[in-house]
Amino acid sequence: MKAAEIRQTFLKFFESKGHQIVASSPVVPGDDPTLLFTNAGMNQFKDVFLGFDKRAYTRATTSQKCIRAGGKHNDLDNVGYTARHHTFFEMLGNFSFGDYFKHDAISYAWELLTVHFKLPAEKLWVTVYEEDDEAYEIWNKTVGVPAERIVRIGDNKGARYMSDNFWMMGDTGPCGPCTEIFYDHGPDVAGGPPGSAEQDGDRYIEIWNNVFMQFNRTEDGVMHKLPKPSVDTGMGLERLAAVLQHVHSNYEIDTFVNLLAAAKKAVDEAGGGDCDAISPSLKVIADHIRACSFTVVDGVIPGNAGRGYVLRRIARRAIRHGYKLGARTPFFHKLVHALAAEMGDAYPELRQAEKRVTDVLKQEEERFFQTIATGMEILEGALAQGGNVDGDTAFKLHDTYGFPVDLTADVCRERGVTVDEARFHELLEEQKNRARAAGKFKMAQGLAYSGAATTFHGYEHLVCETSKVTAIYID
Ligand code: ATP
Ligand code: MG
Ligand code: MG
Ligand code: MG
């Protein structure tokens, strides 16, 4: 079953259960300053959960474009290292706004997976929030999942890949206990079941999270009860496609096959020769072109702050991986065409913006290709000395050669060393302070000499006055 068919089957199933099919919202959230990028299907319904907004329906289903490359849910560092993480992915979801709750959510999920997608029940594991006896009973008694495949999990803030069965959109916003469904890819893959010490592998892959939305967490950390208990679910389309297409890695599913081939071709033509077709770097490139293209479609352009900087970091990380494979001239922007061919039916906005996206990424790429060779030489020099890379080198790479620190860290990780990020951030802070002071000084000078009646009261005094004009600061 191809990804497009899986998406349709999901939406149609929930439509048959009385859900309204709603279009994906943009990856750039409309008016939510707490959020860098849309990170889950529920984002566009946040105010409905909170009771501030009302819709004509109480049940909805979506396939949502998501980006997890910053903020609370950040998977940028996982891409290229796990079989299941992307920076951009599609989240299939069903939502109940004060309508059905735990019983129906769990029953629907099970019916869809085992009857419609025909997944063998014995390959499915579930987790529940440790205190959630109700969810446990529904899984065990109503659905019939044996106790040995139901795991209770608390707010696990421990290991990197550990489950955490209390879902939060961010540090603030709707949240609640959840129950997750895992698929066992079999003993050929390393990794233990959910909740076990060996879970840091990719054998048992989380495919679906069902969140029982019950609270709104405010900045002070207080959990306020929502007006009505609700349901918010999210299933990664790519992860489900991997299961249904009998492959282990998301990167082997139909939507990635052509994209990976296009990436190889573009890298080869740019100097890669005949690069390794199964290199993790090609996966990183294929992943990143999706995130970069969809963010540009929604109006972001590469820059030095906020969303623009996230975009720049992803783009440059991809370019560096191409460089690693031998590319010496721009190649990345050429993949936009292949992506539009692959995903343009599902997301026509991509096809409409194809030329603009290509141009924006090409410009960014041309810019980075001017400095990447020298930057890489410096980094290689530092690595050749053995040991970890110091913060001063990382800062120089950032400041002069346009290497975002996570790019430097990515190279270091490949070599089994780390970069001193603490020192890097210290230097960055110092630079910002200098820029701030210089900004104030400029304003001080300007004020001192422009107003005819101004008497010079000294630097301190003027700084005080002008410090209200924050817009001049560079950060
Ligand atoms: P994981 O533990 O594997 O990182 P998660 O618990 O962070 O996943 P949720 O926040 O529960 O993920 O999101 C709901 C679903 O979205 C997941 O069950 C998974 O199928 C999918 N998903 C989450 N993150 C990614 C990602 N980076 N790439 C692809 N799919 C993802
Ligand atoms: Mg995660
Ligand atoms: Mg998880
Ligand atoms: Mg989860």
Q: Which of 79, 85, 252 to mutate to test the pocket of ligand 1 (most atoms within 8 A of CB)?
A: 85
Q: How far is the CA of 13 from the centre of ligand 4 (A)?
A: 22
Does the CB atom of residue 209 touch ligand 1 within 6 A? yes
Does the CB atom of residue 398 touch ligand 1 within 6 A? no
The number of the ligand nearest the C-alpha atom of 182 reads 1
Regarding an ipTM greater than 0.90, the answer is: yes
Q: What does the angle CA 185 – CA 65 – CA 352 come to, to the nearest 5 degrees?
A: 130
The number of the ligand nearest the C-alpha atom of 205 reads 1
* Token digits of residue 394: 């990382």
Does the CB atom of residue 89 touch ligand 1 within 6 A? yes
Q: How many other CB atoms are found less than 10 A from the CB of residue 457?
A: 11
Look at residues 8, 113, 107 and name the one whose alpha carbon lies nearest to residue 61: 8
Q: Which of 65, 84, 127 to mutate to test the pocket of ligand 1 (most atoms within 8 A of CB)?
A: 84
* Nearest Cα residue to atom 25 of ligand 1: 85
Rounded Cα gap, residues 31 and 8, in angstroms: 29
Q: What pairing do the DSSP bridges indicate for beta strands 150-153 and 124-129?
A: parallel
The pLDDT value recorded for residue 11 is 98
Q: At residue 390, what are phi and psi to the nearest 5 degrees?
A: -75, 160
Q: How far is the CA of 167 from the centre of ligand 3 (A)?
A: 9
Q: What pairing do the DSSP bridges indicate for beta strands 173-184 and 166-168?
A: antiparallel
The pLDDT value recorded for residue 443 is 64
The alpha carbon torsion through 244, 3, 32, 303 (nearest 10 deg) reads: 110
Does the CB atom of residue 68 touch ligand 1 within 6 A? yes
- 3-state secondary structure at position 267: helix
Does the CB atom of residue 342 touch ligand 1 within 6 A? no
* Nearest Cα residue to atom 14 of ligand 1: 234
Does the CB atom of residue 239 touch ligand 1 within 6 A? yes
Does the CB atom of residue 236 touch ligand 1 within 6 A? yes
The pLDDT value recorded for residue 198 is 75
For ligand 1, what atom is nearest to the CA of residue 162?
Answer: 2
The pLDDT value recorded for residue 454 is 36
Q: How far is the CA of 161 from the centre of ligand 3 (A)?
A: 7
Residue at 397: amino acid letter: L
Question: How far, in Å, are 77, 318, 379, 400, 410 from residue 375 at the CA level?
Answer: 21, 15, 6, 8, 14
Does the CB atom of residue 91 touch ligand 1 within 6 A? yes
For ligand 1, what atom is nearest to the CA of residue 78?
Answer: 27
* Nearest Cα residue to atom 21 of ligand 1: 236
- 3-state secondary structure at position 276: coil
Residue at 226: amino acid letter: L
The pLDDT value recorded for residue 460 is 30
Does the CB atom of residue 175 touch ligand 1 within 6 A? no
Can you give the pTM of this predicted structure?
Answer: 0.90
* Nearest Cα residue to atom 19 of ligand 1: 236
Q: Could you list the mean pLDDT of each consecutive 10-residue stretch along the chain, which spans 475 residues?
A: 97 98 95 89 94 96 96 88 95 98 98 98 96 96 97 65 73 92 95 84 94 93 91 98 97 97 98 95 98 98 95 98 98 98 96 98 98 98 96 98 97 96 97 89 55 35 27 23
Q: How far is the CA of 235 from the centre of ligand 4 (A)?
A: 9
Rounded Cα gap, residues 92 and 81, in angstroms: 23
Rounded Cα gap, residues 298 and 284, in angstroms: 22
* Nearest Cα residue to atom 12 of ligand 1: 209
